């Protein structure tokens, strides 16, 4: 059902682009070994494909390089044609361009309007989900709602992206005017309006109260229940709709509260609030420097660019936050379908529905054998240690050669500045993880469920990702050095090793 959820979202994108005639099972969405892949064949045969490849490279430089190497190798077989842009997409592009202009001119109003619109949409879906009757009605509701959710996310992404565009322009101007962009580092820290950061702060505040009063965290405590009311839709690996939400299984939340209690929650809360003050001071200082060297109008330009960044870039987590809220609603609806299938004698357990597809459910068959087979396959595929990120239709998996290991050094992509020495803690899964204050978090990749661990991390190393991946952006906001795309970091490093992480050069030096 996790795969099915993405099929639904991509169907929603197709509806936005091509209208209601779009295929409910888009032919450019493929699955292999329980993973979702996008078939780029037709896109790469157009000039639009070049821009798409550049976009991929920004998100994950390794896969971008692998794709470029493959395209260079096969260039004689790939014809470049003119991409046909659907008229609906042209109109959509014009509307989104208007939204971007509005967000740039009025970042504060645009941000508030975006949040209010999403709250209204989620509330509408929640209310509608309680009126459904029967299997067919519930499945159609999810298919239709997925289109609305995708529209919401496109709108949200348009608004928050203006903040990052503003930051890039500010970097370009400061390089030109001051020949220095390092003073922007504090500006990137402690961004407001980020729901994932606010979640971490809420956990710190609860743990501080528990520490002061000597309370042992439990899922029956009113403070914890209030937290779950607001954030209980989240989960570890939360984009898999088949996995339990925190409100169903709050064990991870309790673990984090216990972890925070062992340290000094108030100190970490202060660290974040100090980051806000440093950012505000840095914005003022940069404006004064520009005014001194270039005059009043350039100073106003740079101040507005940085204001725009601070006001709406923190909303970048909002689409994911609201997507997962939608998934939580869909999950509840599907569990109701599961109950009906149990009553019909087609399933043994309501949660077995998450090992089925919509087509399975609508078949009318006994679903027990299919659910059992898919459950076994899911368990097997989940334990794969290596998954190709790029494949061809002939079955070739494309990788690139790495020169990232040099003696006692590993080299990756620097994504958050600073130099830090500390002991390694390799973590493969955030649930049950114990990261002591000041340890270097080494993992394959991160998502919002990892964010509470960042508060204890002295530095971050990831095997995947690039400058705009989740872990990289959060590391910059928290002011901790980070290096991404370090091949086999979780196997080449060992828990307890002392290392030096250089978030400027991308070098990781093993000290013992």
- The pLDDT of residue 288 is 97
Residue identified by tokens 């004698």 is: 345
132-141 pLDDT, tens digit each: 999 999 999 9
**Higher pLDDT among residues 503 and 470, named by residue:** 503
Taking CA atoms, 128 is separated from 5, 9, 135, 370, in Å, by 19, 19, 15, 30
What tokens appear for 465 in the block? Answer: 């990702």
- The pLDDT of residue 407 is 64
- The pLDDT of residue 423 is 98
Q: Calculate mean pLDDT across residues 362-378.
A: 95
CATH value of 405-510 in 3.40.50.300, 3.50.30.10, 3.30.230.70, 3.20.20.60? 3.50.30.10
pLDDT above 90 covers a percentage of the chain that reads 71
239-271 pLDDT, tens digit each: 999 999 999 999 999 999 998 888 889 998 998
155-205 pLDDT, tens digit each: 999 999 999 999 999 999 999 999 989 999 999 999 999 999 999 999 999
401 band by pLDDT with thresholds 50, 70 and 90: low
227 band by pLDDT with thresholds 50, 70 and 90: very high
485-498 pLDDT, tens digit each: 898 899 999 999 99
**Higher pLDDT among residues 146 and 398, named by residue:** 146
339 band by pLDDT with thresholds 50, 70 and 90: very high
Q: Calculate mean pLDDT across residues 389-403.
A: 71
- The pLDDT of residue 72 is 82
Give the residue from 326, 386, 328, 378 showing the smallest Cα distance to 352: 378
- The pLDDT of residue 82 is 59
Q: Calculate mean pLDDT across residues 57-62.
A: 77
Q: List CB contacts of 307: < 8 A, sequence separation 6 or more.
A: 107, 283
Q: What is the CA radius of gyration of the chain?
A: 24
What tokens appear for 142 in the block? Answer: 């999810």
| DSSP codes joined into one string, 430-496 | STT----TTPEEEES---GGGHHHHTT-SEEEESS--TTSHHHHHHHHHT--EEE--TTHHHHS-TT
- The pLDDT of residue 484 is 94
pLDDT at 397 over 90: no
Q: Calculate mean pLDDT across residues 78-87.
A: 67
343 band by pLDDT with thresholds 50, 70 and 90: very high
What tokens appear for 1 in the block? Answer: 């059902």
81 band by pLDDT with thresholds 50, 70 and 90: low
**Higher pLDDT among residues 216 and 21, named by residue:** 216
pLDDT at 89 over 60: yes
225 band by pLDDT with thresholds 50, 70 and 90: very high
- The pLDDT of residue 80 is 62
**Higher pLDDT among residues 391 and 309, named by residue:** 309
Strand 498-502 with 482-484, pairing: unpaired
Element (H, E) at 420: strand 419-426
Mean of all residue pLDDT scores within the chain: 91
- The pLDDT of residue 87 is 81
| DSSP codes joined into one string, 222-266 | HHHHHHHHHHTT--TTTT-TTSPPTTT-THHHHHHHHHHHHS-HH
């Amino acid at each position: 059902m996790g795969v099915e959820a993405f099929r639904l979202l991509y169907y929603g994108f197709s509806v936005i682009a091509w209208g209601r005639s779009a295929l409910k099972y888009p032919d450019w969405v493929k699955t292999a070994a329980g993973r979702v892949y996008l078939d780029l064949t037709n896109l790469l045969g157009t000039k639009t494909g070049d821009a798409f490849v550049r976009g991929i490279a920004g998100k994950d430089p390794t896969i971008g390089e692998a794709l470029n190497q493959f395209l260079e190798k096969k260039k004689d077989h790939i014809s470049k044609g003119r991409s046909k842009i659907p008229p609906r997409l042209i109109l959509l592009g014009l509307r989104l361009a208007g939204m971007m202009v509005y967000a740039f001119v009025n970042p504060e109003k645009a941000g508030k309007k975006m949040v209010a619109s999403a709250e209204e949409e989620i509330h509408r879906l929640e209310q509608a989900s309680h009126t459904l009757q029967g299997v067919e009605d519930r499945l159609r509701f999810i298919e239709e709602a997925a289109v609305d959710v995708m529209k919401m996310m496109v709108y949200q992404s348009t608004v928050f992206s203006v903040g990052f565009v503003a930051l890039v322009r500010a970097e370009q101007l400061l390089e030109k005017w001051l020949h220095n962009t390092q003073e922007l580092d504090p500006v990137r820290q402690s961004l407001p309006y980020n729901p994932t950061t606010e979640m971490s702060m809420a956990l710190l505040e609860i743990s501080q109260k528990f520490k002061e009063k000597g309370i042992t965290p439990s899922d029956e405590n009113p403070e914890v229940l209030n937290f779950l009311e607001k954030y209980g839709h989240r989960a570890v690996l939360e984009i898999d709709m088949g996995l339990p939400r925190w409100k169903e299984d709050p064990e991870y939340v309790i673990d984090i509260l216990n972890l925070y209690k062992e340290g000094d929650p108030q100190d970490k809360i202060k660290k974040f609030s100090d980051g806000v003050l440093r950012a505000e001071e840095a914005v003022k200082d940069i404006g004064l420097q520009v005014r001194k060297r270039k005059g009043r109008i350039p100073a106003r330009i740079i101040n507005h660019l940085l204001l725009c960044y601070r006001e709406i870039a923190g909303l970048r987590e909002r689409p994911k936050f609201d997507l997962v809220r939608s998934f939580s609603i869909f999950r509840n609806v599907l569990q109701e379908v599961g109950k009906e299938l149990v009553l019909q004698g087609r399933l043994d357990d309501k949660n077995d529905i998450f090992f089925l597809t919509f087509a399975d459910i609508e078949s009318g068959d006994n679903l027990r054998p299919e659910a059992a087979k898919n459950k076994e396959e899911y368990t097997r595929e989940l334990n794969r240690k290596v998954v190709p990120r790029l494949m061809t239709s002939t079955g070739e998996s494309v990788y690139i050669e790495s020169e990232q290991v040099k003696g006692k050094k590993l080299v990756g992509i620097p994504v958050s500045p600073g130099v830090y020495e500390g002991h390694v803690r390799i973590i493969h899964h955030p649930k049950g993880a114990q990261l002591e204050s000041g340890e270097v978090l080494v993992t394959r990749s991160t998502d919002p469920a990892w964010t509470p661990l960042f508060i204890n991390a002295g530095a971050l190393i990831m095997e995947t990702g690039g400058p705009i991946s989740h872990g990289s952006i959060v590391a910059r906001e928290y002011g901790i050095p980070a290096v991404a795309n370090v091949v086999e970091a979780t196997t080449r490093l060992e828990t307890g090793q002392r290392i030096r992480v250089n978030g400027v050069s991308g070098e990781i030096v093993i000290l013992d």
